Structure 1
Amino acid sequence: MTDDLRGTLDRVGDRFNLGEYEIDAYLAVLEHGELTASDIADKTDIPQPRVYDTVRSLSDRGLVELRESRPMKIVAVDPEDAFGDLRSSFTEMVDELEARYTAPTRETEAVSLVKSRSTILRYVEEVIESAEFELAVSLTPALLRRFRDDLAAKVADGVSVELLVTPASKAPDPDEFDYLEVATIARARRGITTPILAVADGEYSVYATQDALRDDRERYGVIFNRSALGFLVSGFFGTVLWTTAETLAADGTERPFPRRYASIRRAVKDIREFSREAGESEGGSESGTGDESETGEFYASVEGRDIETGESVTVSGRVVDLAFEDSEEVASLVVETTDGRVDIGGRVAALEDIEGQVIVIGRDGPPAL
C-alpha cells in the first residue's frame, strides 16, 4: 500500500471514527448551531462529566469550534468546511482501492457461513438483484425500507416477489405504504424469531437470524449457491413462514402469462387463484382448473427428473388437475401430454411422476421453456 493511500485511509478513518457520545453531541450542535456543555447534557444522554472530553474530541477532528467563554460554548462548523477537504481524497481513495480489489470467486462454494452484518446485507442485496423470475424475501420493516428500490425494480421487471415483513406490529400500514410497488403479494408475520432470508429463482439464497443483524450479538448467516440446497430455504419459507402470516396486499393477476416458476407451490397457487377470480367474474365456480371454460384453461411445460430413474425429462401439455392444501404441504399438478397424463410435483417429489425443477405456465398452449 502506498504511503499516500495509507495516509488518506488514516485521515478518513480518524474523521469518521466517532463514538456514540460524539455522534449525539455533534448532531445536537449541528441542529442548534451553538450550545453550552450543559445544553448538550440536557439534550442528549451524555453524562455531564463526559461532555467536555466528547466535545474536545470533536474539536480535534475539526467538526466543532470551542469558544473558551464562561460557560464554554460549542459552535458548529459548516459541514462543507469540515468535510470538504475529504471529498476529492475520498474519491481518489475509492478509485485506488477499487483498482487493488480482486473479486472473490464465491460461486464455487455450495455453502458459505458469514458473520459480518454488512456481509449478510450485501448477500441479501445480491440475491435480490440476481432474481430473474421468482423471488421470496423475509425482511424487517427497516430492511424493507433499505431494499425498497431494489424490490421495486424487480417488480417492474416482471419478477414474482413474495414479501414477508416481520414483526407484523411494526410493518408499515398498507394505507400508507404501497406494498404492490415492491411485491406481487405481501404478508406480515408476528414475532422477532422470524429469520431474514431471500431466495432467487429457487436457487441462490441467504438465511440469517434477526440477531445476526444486531450489532450487539455475534451470530451468522448462511448462503446457499446451488439449487439443491437453496430449495431448503425456499421450502422453509413456503411451508413454515408464509402459511403463518397475514396478507397485507396482493396484485392477484397483474403479471402476464406465460409465467416461469422454480416452485410448484407458487405455480399451483397462481393457477388456482387466477381460475377462482375468473370464475367469480363470470359467475362460475371457484374451484377446479376450469376445464369447462376458456378462462380456466392453462398449459404447462416442465423440466425435471423422473422420480424413479433420476433421468432428466421434459413434458408439456394442458393442465387438467391440481392438488393443493392451504398448509402448502401438498402441491402438484397433472399435465395431459401426448403420451398420457403425468403428475408433476416439486423438489424431492415422491408421490408424483416427475420432480418439477423449472415450470412455465401459459394460457394459449404449451409455453416454451
Structure 2
Amino acid sequence: MTTGPGDPPDAAAAGDVDVEELLKRFGLSDKEVDTYLTLLEHGEAKASTVAEAAGVSKRYVYSASEELAARGFVTVNDHVTPTTIRANPPGEVVDRLANDAQSMRPALEARFSRAEAATEPFEVVKSRVTVVKRIRRAIEDATEEVTLSFPLDRLDEVADELRDAVDRGVLVLLLLTGVDEPVAGFEERYAGVASAARTWGQPMPSMLTVDGRTGVVAPAEMVARTNSGTQAIVFSQQQLGPVIVGSFIGNYWPAASEALLADPAPLPATYENFRHAVLQAELHRRSADAVAAHVSGRRTDTGESVEVTGEVVEVRQGLVEPANNEFPVQHTLTLALDDEQVTVGGKGAFVEDIEADEVELTTPTA
C-alpha cells in the first residue's frame, strides 16, 4: 500500500511497529503505556478524562503521570485547576531516549570490564519517584517483617504492596505520619494494609526495613512532595537493619497512637520472626483464645539447643496498646511447662531463658 499526499509521514510503516512493546522495553508498565498512548491521542487532558479512556483509576493516572513526567514523556500542569497532563512532542521524547541510551554506553562498558561484581551496601537516591519505587520493590520481596513510616496522605502509593505482604504472612508495622488521628472511614479504606498501624502528627523521616537487612531512610519532605531537593539512602546491610528497626520500635512507635489492628491469624501457625509470634499470641489472648507455643531455640545461659512446648501464660510486648514491656524493644513469651515456667525471647535474647529460632503457635490440647 502506498501513502497519499495527505497521509502523515511514515503512516504505513507505523502500522508495522509494536509501539506498546517498544515502550515496555524502556521500563513502562502496561498501564503506563495505556496512559501515555491515551495522552498522545488527546494531546492534553484532565486525569479523569485519561482514566476513563485508558480504563484505569484516576488515582493511578496521577501516579503514572508523575513517573512519565520524571522520564520526560509528559508534563503535569499542577498550577491550574483542575490539573491537566500534556503529552510532550514525540520527537523530543525519542531524542531524549536516544541520548539517554547513548550516554549510558560508556558507563555500562566500564562496569562490564570490571573483574569482580560487587553489590554496594548503600545507594543515594535523589528522585522521589525512585524512592517510592525502591520502597514498593523492597516490600514485594519481604518474607518475614516490614516496618515502615510513611505519610498518611501518600499511603495509596504503597497500600497494595503492603496488603500483599500481610496476605503472605509478613508482619507489617506501619507508622503513618502527618496526622494525630485518622479521618473517619480510615479502617474501612485501609483494611488489611498492616498487622498493626499507628498515627503520629509529628514530622519524622520515612523509614523502611525489610526482614531486618534492607531498607530506605528518606527525609520527610522527600516523600511528601516532589522536587524537595533532598536525598534518600537505600541500604542493604545486615548490621544496619536491626539498628533502624530498634529506633523505629523503641523511639517512634511508642509515641504514636494505635489506629488499626488486624484480627489474629488462624492457628496453628509457625513464625521465624519472633515479634510476629508475640503479636499473634497477644491478639489471641485478647480475643480470649488460649494459645500454646512450641519453641525451637537455645538456652541463653549455656547455648544448649532446646525444644519446649507449653501454654502461653504471659506476653510482654510493646506492639499493641497498652504496652506492658519493661523496655521498648522487649518482647517476651512466658510458657507454662509441666514443672516450671520459662521465658522466651527472639534473636539476641539475653534476659529470657530461651532464645527462639522458631515458634509454632497452636491451640492447647486438653
Give me the TM-score of the superposition, normalised by structure 2. Answer: 0.58
Aligned residue for 2:287, secondary structure, equals: helix
**2:349 is equivalent to residue 349 of structure 1:** yes
In structure 2, how many angstroms separate the alpha carbons of the residues matched to 1:299 and 1:129?
Answer: 29
For 1:127 and 1:31, the matched residues in 2 are separated by 33
Rounded to whole Å, the distance in 2 between the matches of 1:84 and 1:173 is: 48
Amino acid across the alignment from 1:145: D
Distance 2:178 2:200 in 1: 6
Other-structure match for 1:46: none
Does the alignment pair 1:251 with 2:262? yes
Structure 1 residue 354 displacement after superposition: 2.6
Deviation at 1:124, TM superposition (A): 2.0
- Mark the CA change 1:353 to 1:216 in structure 2 (over 3 Å): closer, same or farther: same
Cα RMSD (Å): 4.5
In 1, the alpha carbon distance for the partners of 2:144 and 2:85 equals: 50
- 2:235 corresponds to: 223
- 1:83 maps to what in 2? 90
1:334 match: 334
Per-residue deviation, 1:128:
0.8
**Which amino acid in the other structure matches residue 308 of structure 2?**
S
1:73-112 aligned at under 5 Å gives the runs 79=87, 82-83=89-90, 105-106=118-119, 111-112=121-122
User: Superposition pairs for residues 1-369 of structure 1, below 5 Å?
Assistant: 30=44, 79=87, 82-83=89-90, 105-106=118-119, 111-112=121-122, 114-118=124-128, 120-168=131-179, 173-175=184-186, 178-192=189-203, 194-213=204-223, 215-221=227-233, 223-226=235-238, 228-254=239-265, 256-264=267-275, 266-278=276-288, 295-303=289-297, 306-309=299-302, 311=303, 313-324=305-316, 326=323, 328=325, 329=327, 330-335=330-335, 341-363=341-363
- How many angstroms apart in 2 are the aligned matches of 1:237 and 1:263? 16
Q: Tell me, what secondary structure is at the counterpart of 2:89?
A: helix
Shift of 1:142: 4.5
- TM-superposed deviation, 1:182: 1.8
Cα deviation, residue 191, structure 1: 0.8
What's the CA shift string for 1:170-209, capped at 9, x where partnerless? Answer: 95643486222322322211211x2212222334333333
Shift of 1:117: 3.8
Provide the residue aligned with 1:291 in structure 2. Answer: none
Amino acid at match of 1:137: L
Gap regions ≥5 residues in structure 1: 1-11, 13-28, 33-60, 65-75, 279-294
Contact 1:318/1:336, CA 8 A, preserved across alignment: yes
| Structure 1 position 244, deviation (Å) | 1.9
C-alpha distance in 2 between matches for 1:271 and 1:155? 17
Residues 196, 262 of structure 2: 8 Å contact kept = yes
1:164 partner amino acid: L
Pair 1:189–1:105, CA change in 2 (3 A): farther
Partner secondary structure for residue 310 of structure 2: strand
- CA gap of 1:87–1:255, structure 2 versus 1, over 3 A, is farther
Structure 2 counterpart SS, 1:158: coil
Q: Which amino acid aligns with 1:204?
A: T
Residue 143 (structure 1) shift = 3.9
The 1:306/1:183 distance shift into structure 2, 3 A limit, reads same
Contact 2:182 2:199 in 1 (8 A): yes
Residues 145 and 298 of structure 1: is their aligned pair in 2 closer, same or farther, counting only changes over 3 Å?
Answer: same
Q: What letter corresponds to residue 297 of structure 1 in structure 2?
A: V
Contact (CA 8 Å) 1:335, 1:342: kept in 2 or not? yes
- The structure-2 alpha-carbon separation of the partners of 1:356 and 1:157, relative to structure 1 and needing over 3 Å to count, comes to same
User: How far is the alpha carbon of 1:296 from its aligned partner?
Assistant: 0.3
Task: Report SS of the residue matched to 1:351.
Answer: coil
2:291–2:361 contact (8 Å) kept in structure 1? no
Paired residue type of 2:216:
V
**Does the residue aligned with 1:296 lie in a helix, a strand or coil?**
coil
| Deviation for aligned residue 1:314 | 4.8
Read off the aligned partner of 1:300 and give its amino acid letter. Answer: H
1:298 Cα deviation after fit: 1.4
8 Å contact 1:187–1:246 — kept in the other structure?
yes
Structure 1 pair 276–216 and aligned structure 2 pair: CA distance change class (3 A): closer
1:76-121 CA-partner distances (Å, limit 9, x unpaired): 9984x93389589969x88x9799897x753xx5x52524345543
How far did 1:258 drift?
0.2
Amino acid at match of 2:89: A
- Secondary structure of the 1:181 match is coil
Higher helix share: 1
Counterpart amino acid of 1:160?
L
* Higher Rg of the two aligned structures: 1
Rounded Cα–Cα distance in structure 2 between residues aligned with 1:123 and 1:314: 39
Structure 1 residues 78 and 223 mapped into 2: Cα distance closer, same or farther (>3 Å)?
Answer: closer
Aligned partner letter, 2:286: R
Aligned-partner Cα distance in 1 for 2:197–2:94? 41
**What is residue 36 of structure 1 aligned with on the other side?**
none
CA contact (8 A) 1:300 1:318 kept: yes
